[in-house]
Amino acid sequence: MKKNIVLAQPNARHVTLAVGAGLLVLALVAILLPSQHGFATTPTTTITKAGKQIQITNPSVVVELFTSQGCSSCPPADKLMNELALERDLVALTLPIQYWDYLGWKDTFATRANTSRQQSYADFFGDHKYTPQIVINGEVDVIGSKRTKVLEEIASRSAQNQFPVQLDSKLEGEKVVVTVSEAPQELQSIDAELIAITYRAGAHAVAIKKGENRGRTVAYSNVVDDLTKLKTYNGEPLSHAIPLANLIKEDADSCAIVLQDQSNGRIVGALKIAAIN
């Protein structure tokens, strides 16, 4: 079995707009709390809809961890992801895969969609697939347990402070309308897909009773629930309306929307929509 063991304190500024007897409160947050790891911070919008607070962030980095409850090399990477999940300005996602289930413990979070997504990255990276594997912005992979290397790769991309294509959103009734800007000149011929990735925010502890991690309790943060392709993108501006109920669910209360180049896997735009209460 192949298995690799892979700010200054700012002041917050708020503007609040109340609409419809308090059903909608829009807080524009220009600068918020500092990053735990010193990553660059990004503007955040907070929407309150029918008593639920939803925070929308334009992150500069998307971090995906491919892991398994049946992989004895994975817990250090899982622990790192628990930290990264607390970073407001990142999209940090845990994607449990299925191919180690035969080792004696069936991963309770693993899905075929997660496994297929890792295989897609393997195709881009030259059939390079293992656990724990961290993929950053769809363009580089790192052994998930190599903490220093992972943080360095994230920091270098966070310093750029934005993706080349801007994603924005607004609430219209019970739908979120996502708008995608025109691509810059170097991406004018891009073939990309807009993808919604719903996930269970926070840490979820699992007591593992069999297999390589038998007797251990491991916490998994921001576990991906579903991946849905929304629309294709060829560099021209577009907008797409998504029912809020499809993004904020009872069992998966947060969502990342990514714009991903289908020729090389690179993520060129991202939006994070997360329930915070």
- pLDDT of 68 reads 98
- pLDDT of 50 strictly over 80: no
In a domain, 244, yes or no: yes
**Does a structural domain hold residue 8?**
no
- Helix then strand then coil, % of the chain, to nearest 5: 15, 40, 45
The answer to whether position 89 is within a domain reads: yes
- Is the residue at 9 inside a domain? no
- Mean pLDDT, residues 98-127: 95
Return the amino acid letter for 91.
V
Residue 187 belongs to what domain range?
16-275
CATH number at residue 166: 3.40.30.10
Judge if pTM exceeds 0.95: no
For the chain, what is the domain count?
A: 1
Pairwise pLDDT comparison (159 vs 195), residue with the higher score: 195
Amino acid 216 reads: R
Residue type, 61: V
Confidence class for position 38, pLDDT limits 50, 70, 90: low
pLDDT in tens, 221-247: 999 999 999 999 999 999 999 998 898
Asked, for residue 7, whether it belongs to a domain, the answer is no
pLDDT at position 41 over 70:
no
Cα radius of gyration (the chain)? 19
